[in-house]
Amino acid sequence: MVTDRWCDVSGYQPPQLMRWWEWGIPRGQYRIALGRRLDAYGTLHRANMRAAGMKTGSYAVPVEYAPIADQAWFWVDNTPDDDENDDWVDAERPLLAEWMLRSYCDSYDLHSNRQRLAIYTGGPWWNEHVPAWARPRYARYKLIIASYPFDTPAGRPVPMDAASVALRSTPPTSRRPSCPTPWFVEDGWQHTGMGSLAGYAGFLDLGIYRVNPGAPAPLPDRLAAGIATIDRAVAEIRGAL
């Protein structure tokens, strides 16, 4: 296994403020749906990530106040087939019950051809919301765990000295979180919600994937567009002969 850095973003981060080319992060996860509502920035985030040569993946947040199966199908229908990363279902809302998560995952399994589902959650949420008898059925999915060993508790000043920023952004692997049942090792670790990257004034979610190298990173969109233009020109020339 190798590890890749990632940054995940949602409608809280304007795409024009992201400096993916400068940051050189190989993977990005973008929120595509909250319930049955498309994230207004999702497709823009994805386009900018891919223009920077990043591998991409979507995540969706099931909500407790809308039909669960419809939400899962909506997500699948709006997820591009050429994303390289896993599809994440975000399980962390306080009122999301286990039966809702189960229905959401079942609906994904029935409707998706990708079959790359990962559960994004934190240990406290999982242990509180998913009873022990229900946990084995989730072993078929990957685990992306959120655990922030060096983040500052809410309401306290966030230290911005170089050592503190480095600990949040690149924590030692000895602080990797323990995995809740039924997993033995996580497939991804979001290690901070207070990551700092050059040129961005706020905080970002940073993590690492445990991945096989897999497919090569996508061509930057501008290069891909140039190749497509050449291909069309060649086809037109051949048609004229």
User: What confidence tens digit (pLDDT) does each residue in 147-166 have?
Assistant: 999 999 988 999 999 999 99
Query: Do the domain assignments include residue 23?
Result: yes
Report yes or no on 33 lying in a domain. Answer: yes
CATH number of residue 13's parent domain? 3.20.20.80
pTM score, whole prediction: 0.85
What span, in angstroms and rounded, lies between the C-alpha atoms of 85 and 34? Answer: 19
- Cβ-defined contacts of 15-22 (< 8 Å, 24+): 15/41, 15/44, 15/45, 15/48, 17/200, 17/201, 18/45, 18/48, 18/200, 19/197, 19/198, 19/199, 19/200, 20/48, 20/49, 20/51, 20/52, 20/54, 21/52, 22/198, 22/199
Domain that holds residue 208: 2-216
Whether 146 is in a domain gets the answer yes
* Residue 132, domain member (yes or no): yes
Residue 169 lies in a domain: yes
In a domain, residue 174? The reply is yes
Position 16 in a domain? yes
Structural domain count, the chain: 1
* 240 is a domain residue: no
Q: Which tens digit of pLDDT belongs to each residue from 1-16?
A: 578 999 999 999 999 9
